[in-house]
Chains A and B, each alone.
Chain A
Amino acid sequence: MDVLSARPTRRSLLSGAAGAVSLIAAPSILRAQTKELVVGGAAGHKPWVEQVVVPAFEKKYNCKVLFEGTRSLVNLEKMQKNKGKQYMSVVQMDDPVMILAVKEDLLDPLTPGKAPNLSQLVPGSSHMEGMWANYLQPWLGVAYSKGAMKTPPSSWADLFDAKYKGRIIIPSLQNTEGLPVLFAAGMLAGGTLEAIQKDTDAGFKKLVSLKPNLLTIYTQQPQAYNLLEQGEAYMIGPAMSSYALERKAAGAPIDLVAPKEGVFAMPSGIAVIKGAPQAELAFAYVNELLGAELQEKLAGPTFSLATNKAVPRPAGLSADVTIHQIDWANVAAQRNDWIKRWDREMAI
């Protein structure tokens, strides 16, 4: 999700190190008394994890949860470097990074036996034979400045309208939320979502025509929203519900719309690390996040779609809006080539 705005803080590193040391150094009796679970995730998740998930989980399982907020790729790095002597048990990362973790044999597959709520998820929420599952899906639409635009945008094509010269912001392909810009462009150029994901040529050609409209391509989400809120930018697309609607709720003069061609689901994955300390507790944690009870509590504050069948769609997204699911394995395989082409064709 918010892979870019996060930095590993000294505190998170220290707490991680402290967790690791205490797990190794403390005698097993002591460990049995206060079970500790280290969860790695995005720094942006910290507020809701620590306010909603952790208190509920600690109470139910009589344990202590340490949440290390950083970026998905940093978490991957930590898992690689600690292979065989992991100190983190659970990891919350974006799907493209999960695929890399699977390739490096770092994840312990989820099964309905170990996490019963797995069977309660909407189709497409569990990936690569249960290696990880999506617990929430923020959706991607078009965010716009209410001050600058009298009529809200209704289609992805609005981004390309010549009257918005120099007023459009799109995310970089580096950012996970930036990848669907290529697919939205491909869809506008014609073709099915399935085909345009595999062959992005038409998408790239369409995107190049967006260049005169671009104010910038962001890698830092807060910067882009600053420009939108100040009215310098008119639209950001794709824009993440978990960020845009949170800004709207905080009083920013912006809104998020679901274009008529449909919205894209963002991947928020959760997995148990192979060789995890407290494996049983780790699966229990995953199970809780896949459960209706917690998802119902989180879908609202994170403005995301729940993946548990029992939880209804969030506000702002009517029942008839198509939600496109992206083929993240294809993304992982092709992303570097896309970034190379992007650098060449989207440059100033």
Chain B
Amino acid sequence: MSTARRFDPILLLAAPAVAYLTVVYGLPLLFLLGRSLLGAGGVSAFAGFFADPFSWTVLGNTVRSAALVTLVCLVIGYPTALVLARAGGFVQAAILVAIILPLSVGVVVKAFAWQIVLRRDGVVSQIFTGLGIWDEPQRLLFTETGLVIGAANIFVPFMILPIYSVLKLVDPRLGEAAATLGASPVYRFFKVAIPLSLPGIITGIAFVFSMAASMYVIPSLVIGDRFQTLATLTGRSFLFMRNEQLGSTTAVVLLALTIGIVVASSRLSRRLGGAA
């Protein structure tokens, strides 16, 4: 292993990418951090932010909606990934296209489409009233439920694809082996399939959660002005209130939140991946 520590000239190939990222990503981040710290209040900008109960509402909105979106994506995405991994030939290609193609449709277009689906006389409302679940048509538009449904629709491919890529590598005979030892399908699912696909699940969760926590266009179109998240508050601080320090502060809090999730999940994924 010690030889691996020697400088490998092939690492130089990464230099352009590193240089590029430093300039377009690293430096601006540093400026952002600097601005949040070195403004009029210094560290007190963060103290002020966390002392304000409204900030906690915003933080709560961000984490709760992102967590719900992630949960919905996981519940929908896992079985889809399982089917995708087991399917072959044309069926697999068709499912993959169905998952990937919608990514090419703009978020704004999708948000407008959800507006039609979720309104009072929309399809969802009609189905629920038709089935007798609702007594009268309800509005899902501009509610947190609507936001979660809309966002999950947009982010679900980012849950399916990592899980699928892990499941594809799992030997299907492991399940069969468990079955010959008398494991029931439910037992097999929870004790064999899920643990083996955990690295994919964790990666998917990290992807979806970090994207859902920082989404900007979807909440502003699907739920409007009345539901502030860290991302929308950041945009508003910079664009309308011209309060750069507040904007930088909320942006740094959001960054810390998503970095935390990504780092924690990649650690977890590495440990579990090693165990698997």
Instruction: Identify the A interface with B (CB < 8 A).
Output: 73, 100, 166, 172, 174, 214-220, 223, 226-227, 230, 232, 335-336, 339-340, 343-344, 346-348
Contacts and interface: CB of A to CB of B under 8 A. Distances in A.
Contact of B226 (A100, A174, A348): A348
Interface in B37-51: none
Interface in B199-255: 220-221, 223-228, 236, 239-243
A97 to B, nearest CB: 10
Interface of B: 54, 57, 112, 115-116, 119-121, 139, 141-144, 220-221, 223-228, 236, 239-243
A100 B241 CA distance: 12
B57 A347 contact: yes
B114 to A, nearest CB: 12
The 9 closest A-B pairs by CB, nearest first: A217-B225, A216-B224, A172-B225, A216-B142, A348-B226, A174-B240, A232-B119, A336-B241, A217-B224
A339 B115 contact: no
Contact of B225 (A218, A226, A340): A218
A11 to B, nearest CB: 19
Contacts of A339: 236, 240-241
Contacts of A344: 54
A230 B239 CA distance: 30
B143 A174 contact: no
A335 B236 CA distance: 13
Given A174-B236, A223-B115, A230-B119, A215 B225 contact: no
A166 B241 CA distance: 29
Interface centre among B115, B143, B226 (most CB of A within 10 A): B226
Contact of A346 (B144, B225, B236, B240): B225
Contacts of A216: 141-142, 223-226
28 contacts: A166-B139, A174-B240, A214-B226, A215-B141, A215-B142, A216-B142, A216-B224, A216-B226, A218-B225, A219-B220, A219-B224, A219-B225, A220-B220, A223-B115, A223-B221, A232-B119, A232-B121, A335-B241, A336-B241, A336-B243, A340-B54, A344-B54, A346-B225, A346-B226, A347-B226, A348-B142, A348-B144, A348-B226
Contacts of A347: 57, 226-228
Given A216-B226, A232-B120, 18 more contacts: A100-B242, A166-B139, A172-B225, A174-B236, A215-B141, A216-B142, A223-B221, A226-B115, A227-B115, A230-B116, A336-B241, A336-B243, A339-B241, A343-B228, A347-B226, A348-B143, A348-B223, A348-B227
